[in-house]
Amino acid sequence: MYTIDSISNLRNHLWQAKLDHKTIAFVPTMGNLHEGHLQLIDRALEEVDLVVASIFVNPLQFGPNENFNGYPRTFMADQEKLISRGCHVLFAPSVDEMYPTTNISSTTVKVPHLEQLLCGASRPGHFTGVATVVSKLFGIVQPDVAIFGLKDYQQFLVIKQLTYDLCLPVKIIGAPIARAESGLALSSRNGYLSDEELMQAAQLYVCLSACRVALETGETDLSKLEEQAQCELESAGFRRDYFKICRQDNLQPAEANDKDLVIAAAAYLGKARLIDNVRVTLP
């Protein structure tokens, strides 16, 4: 695997591959890699000739109260993991390489109708940070395909929308959520949990699954289901953020006759804010 930290060296490296008509898949990450990320690499390898991953902890997507400096950085271990899975190129730029101007980024990319809902409500500016860095990374790597985990479902929709609106020739693939045996979605944030909290955390998926079953068996009172789930999460030791039944295509609150739904939740446990979701298609 080649590890490259400058935009010009990456472009030079990928230039020959493009001349040879090799297809390129891109897996952007912020590092601290776990099995969920590595499954994105596996998926990318199925799609194309050359897989490029990136590790970049993006300051633009951290709010003023979020700990950018404290974000776990495990670069050597991440490199080993990517090598073991057969990734071809790792792009690992510095903040100065990505944002050379003093005001971090003068151009930003916003997807207004998606970015203020759900996670965007408690993390103002977060999705502008994500949309901006992903647009830049797409411009740098120019992949044919990019793979994102569906755990961050809102992020996935934001990226699909910006790709469509900016006419970027990149196919966006959502990869299934990787889960621990307990059902807990794999996440870098799980590293903030104690052993006891890790056990409690599995309750988030239990509540999402119970809500899915209720919808599938004909429950139509969506607010009741949402409130019930919030109460169950509180009894399991979580603090509330949101638990919402939404339309799968645009994250607007679902109505009784909608069929393609996503149940999306975020809740605080100890030092972590966990997110997860379950998609449901009703007959």
Catalytic residue ranges: 37
Distances (CA, A) of 164 to 125, 167, 194, 266: 21, 5, 41, 27
Distances (CA, A) of 160 to 150, 189, 194, 275, 280: 12, 24, 35, 20, 20
Q: Which of 29, 128, 163, 230 binds ligand PAF (CB under 6 A)?
A: 29
Q: How far is the first Cα of the chain from the last one, in angstroms, to the nearest whole number? A: 46
Q: What is the number of other CB atoms lying within 10 angstroms of the CB of residue 120?
A: 20
Residue closer to ligand PAF by CB (options 62, 205) is: 62
* Minimum distance from residue 282 beta carbon to ligand PAF (Å): 29
| Number of residues counted as binding ligand PAF (CB under 6 A) | 10
The reply on whether position 30 binds ligand PAF by CB under 6 A is yes
Residue closer to ligand PAF by CB (options 30, 172) is: 30
Residue closer to ligand PAF by CB (options 61, 277) is: 61
Q: Which of 78, 144, 152, 226 binds ligand PAF (CB under 6 A)?
A: 152
201: left (phi over 0), alpha (psi -120 to 50) or beta: alpha
* Minimum distance from residue 66 beta carbon to ligand PAF (Å): 12
The reply on whether position 98 binds ligand PAF by CB under 6 A is no
> Residues 173, 153: contact at Cβ < 8 Å?
no
Residues 46-75 that bind ligand PAF (CB under 6 A): 58, 61
CA angle, residues 176, 160, 225, in degrees to nearest 5: 60
Residue closer to ligand PAF by CB (options 28, 214) is: 28
The reply on whether position 162 binds ligand PAF by CB under 6 A is no
Q: For residues 32 and 82, what is the distance between their CA atoms, to the nearest angstrom?
A: 11
Q: Which of 51, 89, 133, 261 binds ligand PAF (CB under 6 A)?
A: 133
Nearest CA to 108 out of 166, 173, 170 is that of: 166
Distances (CA, A) of 234 to 68, 126, 238, 239, 268: 28, 26, 5, 6, 10
19 contacts: CB under 8 Å, gap ≥ 6: none
Q: For residues 122 and 143, what is the distance between their CA atoms, to the nearest angstrom?
A: 32
The reply on whether position 130 binds ligand PAF by CB under 6 A is yes
* Minimum distance from residue 159 beta carbon to ligand PAF (Å): 7
β-pair partners for 50: 24
Residue closer to ligand PAF by CB (options 58, 277) is: 58
What tokens does 239 get?
Answer: 């603090």
Sign of the CA dihedral 98, 104, 107, 109?
Answer: positive
* Minimum distance from residue 97 beta carbon to ligand PAF (Å): 14
24-32, 80-88, 102-110, 204-212 -> range binding ligand PAF (CB under 6 A): 24-32
27-35, 76-84, 85-93, 99-107 -> range binding ligand PAF (CB under 6 A): 27-35
Residue closer to ligand PAF by CB (options 137, 193) is: 137
* Minimum distance from residue 27 beta carbon to ligand PAF (Å): 9
The reply on whether position 134 binds ligand PAF by CB under 6 A is yes
Binding residues (CB under 6 A) for ligand PAF: these are: 28-30, 58, 61, 130, 133-134, 152, 155
